[in-house]
């Protein structure tokens, strides 16, 4: 997607809401902050091109690898891809800044 958009792609991540997660996706809506934190950590590792074999607090990933790092470096992302978090609720806004850093 980022390649087609010539570097202008921004991925939005968040905990969503209980009705969407439970009714539409059939997954229990538990620990939304922890799940968002874990997804952000996974995405960062994937964008950094790491092979991921990790048990996060809210899910597990085994043997995932991506070529995202090499793409990002080729596209002059200064060696990293920015991460931004924009929680809707005040509690999320207080908790998430340290996770994303948009750098």
| pLDDT, tens digit (0-9, with 9 covering 90-100), for 39-94 | 888 988 887 788 899 999 999 999 988 765 555 544 545 445 666 666 767 776 67
Rounded to 5 degrees, φ, ψ at 97 are -55, -35
pLDDT value of residue 17: 86
pLDDT value of residue 46: 85
Tell me if 93 is assigned to some domain: yes
Tell me if 33 is assigned to some domain: yes
Which two three-digit tokens encode residue 2?
């980022």
CA distance 8 to 90: 28
pLDDT value of residue 55: 96
Residues in the chain: 103
For 33-68, give one letter per residue: b (16+ CB within 10 A) or e: bebbbbbbebbbbbbeebebeeeeeeeeeeeeebeb
pLDDT value of residue 65: 85
Provide the whole-model pTM.
Answer: 0.69
Q: How many domains does the chain have?
A: 1
Tell me if 70 is assigned to some domain: yes
Tell me if 44 is assigned to some domain: yes
Q: Which domain holds residue 79?
A: 18-100
23 or 78, which is more confident? 23
Do 71 and 51 meet the contact criterion of CB atoms below 8 Å apart? no
Tell me if 9 is assigned to some domain: no
Per mean pLDDT, which range of 14-18, 27-31, 46-50, 67-71 is the poorest?
Answer: 67-71
């Amino acid at each position: 997607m980022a390649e087609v958009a010539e570097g202008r792609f921004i991925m939005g991540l968040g905990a969503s809401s209980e009705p969407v997660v439970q009714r539409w996706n059939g997954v229990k809506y538990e620990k939304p902050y922890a799940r968002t934190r874990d997804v952000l950590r996974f995405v960062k590792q994937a964008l950094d091109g790491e092979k991921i074999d990790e048990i996060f607090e809210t899910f597990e990933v085994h043997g995932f690898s991506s070529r995202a790092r090499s793409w990002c470096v080729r596209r002059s992302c200064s060696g990293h891809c920015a991460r931004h978090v924009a929680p809707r609720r005040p509690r999320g806004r207080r908790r998430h800044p340290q996770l994303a850093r948009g750098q």
